[in-house]
Structure 1
Amino acid sequence: MKNVNELLGLKNPAEVNEKLNELLASFQVYYQNLRGFHWNVKGKLFFTLHSKFEELYDDAAEKVDEVAERILTLGGKPLHTFDDYLKTSKIAVVKDEHDGLKLVEAAIDNISTLIRLEREIIPVAEKIDDEGTASLMSDFISEQEKTVWMLKALID
């Protein structure tokens, strides 16, 4: 019986899975940052940001699941411990920040890092004809670019 990669026509998705795990770990830290932003935001924009951060972490949770399932689809093993996430993430933990504007800036920085990682995955996926991963990353990027624009508009 053929394995999943043979059935999908993918040669060697190991590099794609490695990059996806880096993205997964970064998404997990981003998600946890957003939870903290939601709980701890203070200031004139409290009501707006409290709701927005909840919307963003709900979206991040869905993307975490999609990335992990993509790794599994490609025959890989998604990272699943906080220890692994912290070692692998390209996003830093944001701790003890309450100022709404600084939290928005941190969210923009986090999302920009995710976009950079997603852009790095596309050519790696294309190299092995992995249209599914390339398309998923493209969809994420389009949505996140709009989010960055909107968050930037809020604080400019």
Structure 2
Amino acid sequence: MRHIDRLCGALIVAAALTPTLSSAAVDPREGEALYVGTTPLKNGGAPCLACHGLAGHGLAFSASFGPDLSAAGETYDAETLATALEDVPFPSMEPIYRGHALTQGERADLAAFLLEARAAPPPAGGALGRLLLEAGLVAAAILALLAVLFRRRMPPVTAALAAARRAEGGSR
């Protein structure tokens, strides 16, 4: 009986000393780095941006497998977000994170980042504006390359046409 009392006392002390999500130091910047993948997840899971878009992150329309998480912070609180990341209740995410569970710190940092992203104003122009800008830059680069490559092709054609006109008695 005495051993059970000691074990219960030890468990109570351990629970009191274990930091909870609300008391742990969370870092939204670390959550952002985990989200975009600049800091790899400790257990080797894929970064969130691989499947989920978030206003202001990634190329326009690049992450389209999962839903956009821009409004996640408006719908859920930090505890709910961290719990969702712990249990991964979504069938499409389960095979990706099986054996690659997020740590408690990663969950807290990601939740803090998603809550902070809620308060941030959306970037000017949005994703469509950025997509159009990127497409315009690519088109301009292709046109410039074609102009350089085919610049020398026209003089022989022009000279041949001028010679044919002169042979016919034309003014040129």
TM range (shorter): under 0.3
Compare relative contact order (CA 8 Å, sep 6+) and give the higher one, 1 or 2: 1
Larger Rg: 2
Higher share of residues assigned helix: 1
Q: TM-score, normalised by structure 2?
A: 0.26
Q: TM-score, normalised by structure 1?
A: 0.27
